Structure 1
Amino acid sequence: MALQHLAPPKSPPDLTIPSSDVTVTVSCIDTTSRLKLPMSLMLQPDYVGHPELTGPSLCFLLDHPSGKKILFDLGVRYDWQRLPSFPKFRENAWGIMVQKDTARILQENKIDVANGAISSIVLSHHHWDHAGDPSTFPSSTELVVGPGFMETHLPGYPANPKATLLQTDHEGREIREPAFSDAFKIGRFQAHDFFGDGSFYLLSTPGHSVGHLCALARTTASPPTFIFLAGDASHHAAEFRPTEYLPLPALVPANGTGEDFRNVHAEQSAVKPFYNVTAGFAHSKELADWTIAGLGEFDCQENVLLLTAHDEHILDEQAGMEFFPAPLNDWLEKGLAERVKWLFLGDFEGALRRREEGGEAFTWGVYP
Structure 2
Amino acid sequence: MTQGETNESWRPHLVRGVPIWQLTVELNTPDLFAGRLLVPSVAEHDGEDVTGWDLEGLVPFAEAKAKWPSEVQLAAADLQVVFDRVAKALLQDSGPLDEFRSALTMPPIGTAETANYFYAPSTKKLFVRHWGATPPGDESTFTHESWRKIFRDVGAASPSAMAMAAAKVDAPAERRRESDPDAAREADEAPEKHASEPPGPKKPAKKQTWWSLPLGLLLVIVAGLVGLLSFRTFQEGPVTPTRPVVPPALAAHDAGTDAATTVEAVDASTDAAESADASVADSDDASTSDASADAADASTDDDDDADASIATSHAGADDHSKVVVTIGPAAGGADPEGPNTKAGPHRRHDQPEARTWRVTTGADRVARTEQRPHRFDVWLATGKSFEGVRVEWEDAAGKWHVH
Range of TM-score over shorter length:
under 0.3
Normalising to structure 1: TM-score of the pair?
0.23
Please tell me whether Structure 1 or Structure 2 has the larger radius of gyration of its CA atoms.
2
Q: Give the helix-richer structure, 1 or 2.
A: 2
Report which structure shows greater RCO (CA 8 Å, sep ≥6).
Answer: 1
TM-score by length of 2: 0.21
